[in-house]
Structure 1
Amino acid sequence: MFSFNDLQVVDVVSRRGSFSAAAEELHKVPSAISYTVRLMEEKLAVELFERHHRQVALTPAGRYFVEEARQLIKHMELIKHQTQRVANGWAENVSVALDTVVRQSRVSTMVRDFYQAFPDVELHLTMEVYNGVWDALADGRADLVIGATAAIPVSGDFDYRDMGSLNWVFVMSPDHPLIQCQNTLDEAELAKYPAICLEDTSRVLPKRTTWLMNNQRRVMVPDWSSAFQCLEAGLGIGVVPEHMAMPKLKEGVLVSRLLPHSPPVSPCCLAWNKASLNPALNWLLQYLGDSQQLHQEWMR
C-alpha cells in the first residue's frame, strides 16, 4: 500500500512540522510533499495532519500511523542490510554444539570475544553428550562442534581438526564400600553398585555409553557436574574424563581405582560443516587455533 518513500515523507513532515521544512530536508519541492501526504490520506480514508497557515500537526490517527511507520522503516532498512550481508557471505547466526567434556570456563571467554568481533551476529550454543554432537552436525542443528569424541560416525561435507586424546579414569567416593577392595576390582563386584552415566543426546545416531558392566543399574544424569555430585555423595561409581577428575582426586573428595579393563582413550576433535562456512565461522576456526591450542584450552 505504501512505499518506503511514502513512509519517510510522513515521518519527516511529522518531525519538521511543515511541508516546506520536510521538502528542504528531503530535497524536494513542497508541492511534491503535500501531494504524497494527500494521496496517503486518500488511501487510508483518514486525515493524518491538521493544516494550519504554515504548519501542520498530527491528528490522533496520524500519531498512531507515524509510530507504526517508523517501525516499518526500521524493519525495511534491516531487511535491506541483512540481505546485502547474506549476499556477501555473512550469516545471521552461527550454531556451535559443545560436548560436555570440554572446559566450561572457556565457553564464556569465547562468547565474549565472538561478540566483540561480530556484535550483530548471534551465537547459538548447545551442550551435547557423546554422539549428540555428531548428530547435531549431521542434522544441521550445528555449524561447528567442539570436543567431539570417538570416530566420526557420519558422512557428509565435514572437516575436522584434532584436539588430542581424552583419557578416562574410574572413580568413587572415599566412603564407598568398594574402597575396601585392595586388588583390581572384578566385574561381578563392580556390577553390584549403580553406575553414574550421562545420557547420550543423539536423536538419530546410535547412542553410546562410556562404561557399564553387564546387568548393572544406572543413575542417568544430564551433565558431568551432576555426575560428580552423585559420585561425591557415594550414590554410585563411574568413569569420568581425567582432566575433570584430577582436581577432585587432589582434594580427596574422590578416589580412583583400576578396572579389569581400562576404558579406551578417546580421540577428540573439532568438526564443522564446510557448506556453512562464512566470515563468522571462519573467524571461530581461526580463533580456536591449532590442535595444541585446542587441547590446552579445552581439554586440560
Structure 2
Amino acid sequence: MKHDQLIALEAIVSTGTFRGAAERLHKSQSAISHTIRQLEEELELELFSRAAYRPVLTPAGEIFYREASRVLRQMQGLRSTAARLRAREEPELTVAVSATMDLDPLLPVLADTGQRHPATHLRLRMEMMGGPIARLMEGKADIALASLDGVPLDDVEAEPVAEVIIRPVASPALNLPAGSRVLSVSEMQGHVQVVAAGTGGAAHEQSRDLLPGGLKWTVSDLTAKKKVILAGLGWGGLPDHMTQDERRTGALLSLSVERFPVRRTMIFKMRRRDQPPGAVADELWHRIGASGR
C-alpha cells in the first residue's frame, strides 16, 4: 500500500469520478484507474462498484476509505511538523516562573503559543526564590520570569512585565491583632513563621523578611504555605493574588510586622545574552512583554 494510492482514492471520492481525480492530481485517467486497481488487488477487496456511470464505494470500500482518510490527515500533520522543524522551531521550550507570580495573565499567551506551534513541547516550571534564574543560567530554561534578585545583569537581558505584592498574613485562629499596629519582633517570636524553600540552591534561600530568633517552619511551595497558614499553624508572607478571596472573607488577616513590610516586587522576563533564541522562544518573549504589563 502506497501513499499515492490513498491520495488517488481520496481524489476519486471527493470529485466523484476517475476523470475528476485525474484532473485534480494532474495525471491521466488510465493512470488513476491503474493505481486503484493495484490497490484493490493488494487488498484483495473491491473498493468501488463500477456498475453505474459514477464509481460508488462498496460497503468494504466505505470502511477502508474512512480509515484511509484518517491516515492521510496524519500524514499531512507529519508534513506540517517537518515543515516547522525545518523552520528551526524548537522541539522543546521551557519557561521558568517565580511561584509568586500570578499565572492568569500568562496562560492565554502560552495557550496561543501552543496552538500556533504544536510541534514545540512547552514546559512550565514553577520555581521558588532564585530558582528561575538558576534554571536559566544552567541552560534548563529558555525564558525566566522572576525578580532581579541575584541576577547577573551583564549576562541576562531583562524587561519588566508584572508586579507582585507580598504581605504578611495569618489566620484569625492565631489570635494576632490585625490592622495598623505594628507587631514587634518580640511579639512575633512566639509564633511560627512559615517560609517556602528555595529551588535555586543554598545561595537563594530566604533571608529577607525572616525574623531573627523566631520559630520557623519550611514548606516546599506556596500552596503548602498557604494551607499551613490557613490552618492557623503559623504566619507568613503570601502574594496578594493568592489571598485576595481569603482576606475579603476574613479567613486571612493582613498583618503589620516589624522588619516585614508589604513588599512590591517587579517581575522581569529574562533570557541569556550568549544564546540566540529559537523561533518560538523569540515569539513568546515578545508576546509576554506585550501582554504582561
TM-score, normalisation: structure 1: 0.69
Is residue 96 of structure 2 the alignment partner of residue 101 of structure 1?
A: no
Question: Could you tell me whether the CA contact under 8 Å between 1:9 and 1:37 is conserved in 2?
Answer: yes
Using the TM superposition, give the Cα deviation of residue 8 of structure 1 relative to its aligned residue in structure 2, in angstroms. Answer: 0.7
Whether 2:181 is the aligned partner of 1:185: answer: no
Q: Which residue of 1 aligns with 2:117?
A: 121
CA contact (8 A) 2:95 2:141 kept: yes
Match of 2:156 among 154, 159, 167: 159
Counterpart in the other structure of 1:50: 49
Q: Give the AA of the match of 1:33.
A: I
> Which residue is equivalent to 1:280?
280
Give the secondary structure class of the aligned counterpart of 1:145.
strand
State whether structure 2 residue 258 is matched by structure 1 residue 258: yes
Identical-residue share of aligned pairs (%): 23
Taking structure 2 as the reference length, what is the TM-score of the superposition? 0.70
Contact 1:96 1:146 in 2 (8 A): yes
Q: CA deviation at 1:95?
A: 3.6
Partner residue of 1:237 out of 218, 235, 238: 235
- In the TM superposition, 1:141-220 aligns within 5 A as 142-148=141-147, 150-152=149-151, 159-161=156-158, 163=160, 170-172=168-170, 176-177=174-175, 179=177, 184-186=184-186, 190-200=188-198, 205-206=201-202, 208-209=205-206, 211=210, 216-218=215-217, 220=219
- The residue type equivalent to 2:286 in the other structure is Q
Alignment partner, residue 2 of structure 1: 2
Describe the shift of the 1:36–1:244 C-alpha distance in structure 2 as closer, same or farther (beyond 3 A): closer
**In the alignment, residue 253 of structure 2 is paired with which amino acid?**
V
- SS of residue paired to 2:116: coil
Partner letter of residue 98 of structure 1? V
Give structure 2 stretches of 5+ with no counterpart: none
Asked if 1 retains the 8 angstrom alpha-carbon contact of 2:192 and 2:235, the reply is yes
- Relative distance call for 1:140 and 1:48 in structure 2 (3 A) is farther
CA pair 149-212 structure 1, distance change in 2 beyond 3 A: farther
Give, in whole Å, the separation in 2 of the partners of 1:52 and 1:265: 79
How far residue 258 of structure 1 moved from its aligned partner, in angstroms, is 0.6
Deviation digits for residues 165-207 of structure 1, max 9, x if unmatched? 9886545457745549977313xx64532222334456xx457
CA distance in 2, matches of 1:280, 1:82: 14
> Secondary structure of 1:10's partner?
helix
Q: Secondary structure, in 3 states, of the residue corresponding to 1:63? A: helix
Q: CA deviation at 1:36?
A: 0.4
Structure 1 unpaired stretches of 5+: none
Query: CA–CA distance in 1 between the matches of 2:44 and 2:9?
Result: 15
C-alpha spacing 1:14/1:284, structure 2 compared with 1 (3 Å):
closer
Q: 1:20 to 1:171 in 2, by over 3 A?
A: closer
Task: Report how far residue 102 of structure 1 moved.
Answer: 2.0
Q: Secondary structure at the match of 2:237?
A: strand
Partner of 2:58: 59
The 1:241–1:14 alpha-carbon spacing in structure 2 relative to 1, beyond 3 Å, is closer
> AA paired with 2:237?
V
For these two proteins, the number of residue pairs brought into alignment is 278
CA distance in 1, matches of 2:240, 2:18: 74
| Structure 1 residues 242 and 81, CA gap change in structure 2 (3 angstroms) | closer
Q: Residue 146 of structure 1: CA displacement?
A: 0.9
Call closer, same or farther: CA 1:160–1:263 in 2, change over 3 Å: farther
Using the TM superposition, name which of 275-284 and 71-80 deviates more: 275-284
CA spacing shift, 1:104–1:18, aligned 2, 3 Å: closer
Name the SS of the counterpart of 1:80 in structure 2: helix
